[in-house]
Structure 1
Amino acid sequence: MRLEAVPYERRHDYVNWLLLADDSENAVRSYLDYGDLYVIHIEQQIVGVMLFVTLSEHAVELKNMALTENQRGKGIGKKAIEAAVKLYKDNGFKQMNVGTANSSIENLAFYQKAGFRMFSIMKDYFADYDPPVYEHGIHGLDLVMFERKL
């Protein structure tokens, strides 16, 4: 597994990848041009993407992470997180944040297993999503934020 930076002029080629993890194209387009976009490779095949936005001199946010469905549950996501942690730590960052919907049961578990801790909830963050976010019969309204010290 390896991460490869996407040149700025090619990031719009990956909108459909980012939509695997964020149902709102408007939301994806609002952060697409900021931060660092990486493709996740297994051998020569692209299996996912990660987009990071710098929050401060010492903090970065994993804004979007998506893997193809057939690659989930194989440890690739955790390896990609670890590669990103090393990359950002080596560049002087001290903290990585990530957020997910209150309804995203798998993501809530995944990020905790990957060493992140909950630190805040942004109520009604997804309230204006059209169509509304529903997972596991739960209306996704709130954004649960996690952090990991690097």
Structure 2
Amino acid sequence: MRVEEVTGPREAYLPLLKLADEGEAAVRNYLHDGRLYVARSGGEVLGAALYVPVDEETVELKNIALHEEARGVGTGRALIEDGIVRYTEMGFRRMIVGTANSSIGNLSFYQKCGFRMSHIRRGFFLSYPEPIWENGIRAFDMVMFERELHKSGLEEE
């Protein structure tokens, strides 16, 4: 598997990115911001990660999406670790990412990747046109995580 930056049109990646963010309007709003990276095996796209700078020191992992067959086998972690290396080299000191309060798997995954909970954006998903339900829980709030980039993700604080 290799991770490479998408330098051409991004519209073809919209269906993939929608796997991680059910609001198509929301994805279209940030689709052309920041940098988009894809994980490939042979000619097949396994997943994608879109990073958007927030300020001079902080980059946000705005969207990370994997095809079903690429989940649970290290593809997501590889995309994040690749982003950490790239953005550390660019001089960023912190990465943030958010997920719905109902995304139980994501809450666990980001912590396993070295992120720590930082705050909650209450009512974030109330602006979506349709309610989002996962694991029998309605998505109301965005749980935000952060990770310092100069530290190992598995390091204890």
Range of TM-score over shorter length: over 0.9
Do structure 1's residue 70 and structure 2's residue 75 form an aligned pair? no
Amino acid at match of 2:79: A
Cα shift at 1:131 = 1.6
- Does the Cα contact within 8 Å between 1:117 and 1:147 map onto a contact in 2? yes
Do structure 1's residue 20 and structure 2's residue 23 form an aligned pair? no
Instruction: For 2:61 and 2:101, locate their aligned partners in 1 and report how far apart those are by CA, in whole Å.
Output: 17
Q: Following superposition, which runs of at least 4 residues in structure 1 exceed 3 angstroms of deviation? A: none
Correspondences of 1:19-58 after superposition (within 5 Å) = 19-58=18-57
Instruction: For 1:54 and 1:104, locate their aligned partners in 2 and report how far apart those are by CA, in whole Å.
Output: 24
Cα shift at 1:42 = 2.3
TM-score where L is the length of structure 1: 0.96
How many residues matched? 149
Which position in structure 2 is the counterpart of 1:111? 110
Which position in structure 2 is the counterpart of 1:3? 3
TM-score where L is the length of structure 2: 0.92
Instruction: For 1:108 and 1:62, locate their aligned partners in 2 and report how far apart those are by CA, in whole Å.
Output: 14
Instruction: For 2:68 and 2:118, locate their aligned partners in 1 and report how far apart those are by CA, in whole Å.
Output: 28
1:3-27 alpha-carbon deviations (Å, 9 max, x no partner): 21112x4111211111010001000
Percent identical across equivalent pairs? 50
Instruction: For 2:59 and 2:108, locate their aligned partners in 1 and report how far apart those are by CA, in whole Å.
Output: 21
- Does the Cα contact within 8 Å between 1:121 and 1:142 map onto a contact in 2? yes
- Does the Cα contact within 8 Å between 1:2 and 1:80 map onto a contact in 2? no
Where does structure 2 lack aligned partners over 5 or more consecutive residues? 150-157
1:113-149 alpha-carbon deviations (Å, 9 max, x no partner): 0000000100000012122110011000100000000
Over aligned residues, Cα RMSD in angstroms? 1.0
